Amino acid sequence: MTIYNELPVTTFRWTKANSITLDDFDVKYNFYAHEVVKTGKEYVLDRQQFNEIELPKDFVGASKESLKEVIDRANYKRYIHGKSGEKLDIYLDFKVEEKNPTLIGDISIYAEENSEIQIIMDYSGDFKEAYTNVLSRVFAEKNSKITIVKVQRQGEIRHIEHRYSKLEENAKVDYLMINIGGNESLYHFVTDLKGDNSDADLKAIYIGENSSITDIYNNIRFYGKNAKGNFIVKGALKDRAKKYFRGTLDYIKGCSGSTGDEQENVILLNDKVKSFAIPILLAGEDDVMGNHAASAGQVDESILFYIMSRGFSEQEAKRMIVEASFRPIVDEIKNEELKKFVLDSLDSKLETV
C-alpha cells in the first residue's frame, strides 16, 4: 500500500484526511506509441533546449514512489519551450488504450521572458485497465504567460498528476483542470510564486460517480511581494463516490502585499457519498490577505423547489443546478469542440441524480 498526498502540516487524525492510502498493483510497462501532438508539433521536442526544470528537494509529488516512477521510467518525455516574444498554441492528446495501456509522462513547459504558451492536455481512452502517471514541470520567466487546460476523461484504474510550477516577476500561470473520468484520480499541485507581482489562477471541476475517488492536493507558496494565488474548485458527488481536498496557502516571510483565495464547493447528490476537505493557511508574513473556505452540502431545497415550480422534474432541476455551478469554469475552454464534449459529458453523467 502507498500513502498519497500527505499534508505538509498534519491536522487532527480523526478527520482521516491528512493523506490517503491506496493498494498497489502491478503496472504493465510499455512503449507509449500513440501520436500525441495534434497542434503545435514543431514546439513539442524530444530533446532539451534549455536547462532541466529542477524540482525543489521538498517536492515529493503525490507520493515519493509514484514520482520516482516518472523520473526513472517515463515512456513519454517531452520539452515545450517558448522563446522570448513567441506565442505557442499546442494541443496534446494523451490516449490510453489496450495497445497503449500505460502512460508515464515527464513534460517540461518553459516560457522565456515575454513569451506566451497555451496548451490543451486532453487525456482520453476507455480502457479500464489503463494507468497514467504524469509529471508536469512549469517555469514562467519574467512577464511570460502560460495557460494550461487539462481534461481528464480516461476510464482507467488510476490517474496521477504531479505538477510543480515556478513563476518569476510579473509572470502569470492559468491552469484549468476538469476531471470527468477514471476510478482513482490523484492530483498534487505545488506552485511557487517567486517573483514580485507573479500570479497563479487555478480552477478545477470534478464529478465523482460510482465508487470513484478524487483526491486533490494544492499548495501555493508566496515568496515575492504583491503576488496573487487563487485556487477555485467546484465538484459534485453521486452514488458512492469519495473526494478528498487538501489546500494550503503558505505565506513566506517577505511576501508582503500578497493575496490568496482558496475555495472548494461540492454538491452532494445523495447521502452515500463522502467528502473530506482541509483548507490550511500558513502566515509567516503579516502584511498579506488570505481567504480559504470549503463547503459541502446537498442541493438547496428552495432553489430546487423554484426550478421545479417552472415545470422541470427533480432530476432535471438538480442537473441544472450542478451545471450552473460548473459553467463559468467550463466557459473558459476556448476550444469549442472540447468545450462541447465536456458539456455533453457532464450532462450525460448527471442524467441519474
Q: What pLDDT was estimated at residue 12?
A: 61
Quick one: average pLDDT of 307-327?
88
Q: What is the pLDDT of residues 232-242, one digit of tens each?
A: 999 999 999 99
Mean confidence (pLDDT) of the chain: 92
Per the structure block, which three cell numbers stand in for 19?
Answer: 493523506
pLDDT band at 319 (very low <50, low <70, confident <90, very high): confident
| Whole-number pLDDT of residue 157 | 84
pLDDT for position 14: 67
Tens-digit pLDDT profile for residues 115-146:
999 999 999 988 888 999 999 999 999 999 99
Rounded mean pLDDT, 54-73? 96
Can you tell me which residue has the cell 480502457? 127
Give the whole-angstrom CA distance, residue 178 versus residue 161: 13
pLDDT of residue 17: 74
pLDDT confidence bin for 104, thresholds 50/70/90: very high
Half-sphere exposure of 112 (CA within 13 A, CB side): 12
Phi-psi region of 337 (alpha: psi -120 to 50; beta: other; left: phi over 0): alpha
Q: Are strands 158-167 and 87-95 parallel, antiparallel or unpaired?
A: unpaired
pLDDT in tens, 178-206: 999 889 999 999 999 999 999 999 999 99
Q: Which CA distances in Å does 50 have to 98, 111, 331, 333?
A: 35, 10, 34, 29
Reference 153, options 123, 190, 129, 132; nearest CA is: 123
pTM: 0.94
